[in-house]
Amino acid sequence: MVREVSESCVDSLLTEMVACYCNRFYANKPELAARRIEAIGYQVGHQLSERYTMERPRFTDHLEAIKFICKDFWSELFKKQIDNLKTNHRGTFVLQDNKFRWLARMSVDPSTDNVGSVEDNNSPTAENKAAHAMSMHLYFPCGIIRGALSNLGIPCAVSADISNLPAWGNLTILIPFIRAKDLKIEPLFHVKNIEI
């Protein structure tokens, strides 16, 4: 019944999609490329949530839906559960994945960094480039999560943050709900851990 797809294919597809949008379609407008990639992810997440929630009871509140995203949805997509879930109990959720699968096998093309002098190899610009490339690859998974949540009745904004760059896999995802009144994102240091 369940159709499977090779993991390397998904990796290649993601890389190629990001490369296509960043270097070919919207080479001069990175913001537009990011928005397009996020929109594709939204559509995918919207459809996936329809499939994955097909045979489960309805969610009573937002926390239950978030827990579903952390456990079932995450393990369907990324083959593992989320490592840490935090909330400030005022609508902001922070999801932390210590080994994000879609970034685990990613490396930075060294040829683009070697244009300048050899000493510049470890300069901050090289690191910035790497971080920028990483963040472009994160718009798709962010879109997926936003699509899934909004289909479950939680309109929200999703942003991702990579810390610990050398490990390439340490991902924090921030989900502030958008309410009609306040668009403010709560400061992160008030967050508390909750049991998944």
CB under 8 A: which stretch of 12-20, 31-39, 40-48, 91-99 binds other proteins? Answer: 40-48
58 contacts other proteins (rule: CB under 8 A): yes
In the chain, the amino acid numbered 59 is: F
181 contacts other proteins (rule: CB under 8 A): no
Map residue 185 onto helix, strand or coil: coil
49 contacts other proteins (rule: CB under 8 A): yes
170 contacts other proteins (rule: CB under 8 A): no
31 contacts other proteins (rule: CB under 8 A): no
Cα 146 from Cα 126, distance rounded (Å)? 30
- In the region spanning residues 101 to 120, those forming contacts with other proteins, defined by CB under 8 A, are none
Judge contact between 175 and 92, C-beta under 8 A.
yes
Cα→Cα distances 57→32, 54, 64, 193, Å: 38, 9, 11, 25
Q: Find, among 142, 153, 144, 182, the residue nearest to 62 by Cα.
A: 153
Shortest spacing between CB 56 and other proteins, in angstroms:
7
Shortest spacing between CB 144 and other proteins, in angstroms:
14
Determine which helix (DSSP H) or strand (DSSP E) holds 192, and give its type and residue range: strand 192-193
CB under 8 A: which stretch of 72-80, 114-122, 148-156, 164-172 binds other proteins? Answer: 148-156
71 contacts other proteins (rule: CB under 8 A): no
Exactly one of 95, 138, 145, 152 binds other proteins (CB under 8 A); which one? 152
Sheet holding 92-97, edge to edge: 159-162, 171-176, 92-97, 84-87, 192-193
In the chain, the amino acid numbered 62 is: H
Determine which helix (DSSP H) or strand (DSSP E) holds 98, and give its type and residue range: none
76 contacts other proteins (rule: CB under 8 A): no
Exactly one of 5, 9, 54, 115 binds other proteins (CB under 8 A); which one? 54
Shortest spacing between CB 180 and other proteins, in angstroms:
18
28 contacts other proteins (rule: CB under 8 A): no
Cβ atoms within 10 A of the Cβ of 104, count? 12
Judge contact between 84 and 96, C-beta under 8 A.
yes
Query: Residues in the site for other proteins, rule: CB under 8 A?
Result: 1-3, 43, 46-47, 49-51, 53-60, 151-153
